[in-house]
Amino acid sequence: MVHAARQARAAFREMRERLDIARETYGIEREAGQGRVSAGLTALRAATSKERDGRTSDDIRERLSQVVGRSRDQDDTPKPEGRNYARERLKEIMEKDAGRDGQAAVHKLDGHSEYDLGEDTGRDGRKPSVNERLKDMLNKPRERLEIEDERDQEKDQEVEKDRDIDRDPGLSH
């Protein structure tokens, strides 16, 4: 545990140094008349240069993988599980999100109606999901708040009454 913390601190220190190099390089390039994009790219190149202090990017990857606890040869990218991987993944996500049959959600995304599946997957047979309720609220036509309008009208009438009292013809002579 202590060793991992030390490695993490060392990696953090190195990243901080690289950030400082990038900042310095950016400032120098901007003072030299370079634009923001050019100076930024130069700063990134300086910060990510492969030959810095005799280390290569593989050394950094090795150190970071040790800190994280993964082996170097472990591949982090997900492997597709066949031709319909994206469809299956979408089905899982839709099931979690909507709290309903994911196949019906995918079927609906394909452009078919909810009732084309031949089973009752419509909204009437289940509680609407949070996402559906939010969409309903956002798509709901705006209603005017009549209560506030009535209050405003009452205030306007009171002000008008006060003006009428001030304009009393008996007080003007």
pLDDT at residue 37, rounded to an integer: 92
Residues 101/95, Cβ–Cβ less than 8 Å: yes
Residues 119, 161 within the same domain: yes
The least confident of 14-23, 88-97, 103-112 is 103-112
In a domain? residue 73: no
Residue 103: name the closest of 115, 116, 118, 92 by CA.
Answer: 92
**Who has greater pLDDT, 46 or 72?**
46
Q: How far apart are CA 34 and CA 86, in angstroms?
A: 44
Say if residue 94 is in the same domain as residue 161: yes
Is there a domain that residue 119 lies in? yes
CB burial of 100-128 (b: ≥16 within 10 Å; e: otherwise) equals bbbebbbbbeeeeebeeeeeebeeeeeee
Tokens of 42: 């130069």
What pLDDT score was predicted for residue 126? 73
Residue 103 forms part of a structural domain: yes
- 42 and 91 belong to one structural domain: no
Q: Domain for residue 171, yes or no? A: no
pLDDT of residue 124: 57
Domain containing 39 equals 2-68
Q: Domain total for the chain? A: 2
The last residue of one of the domains, among 10, 43, 68, is 68
pLDDT at residue 120 above 50? no
Q: Can you read off the two tokens belonging to residue 85?
A: 């991987």
For the record, the structure tokens of 173 come out as: 């002579």
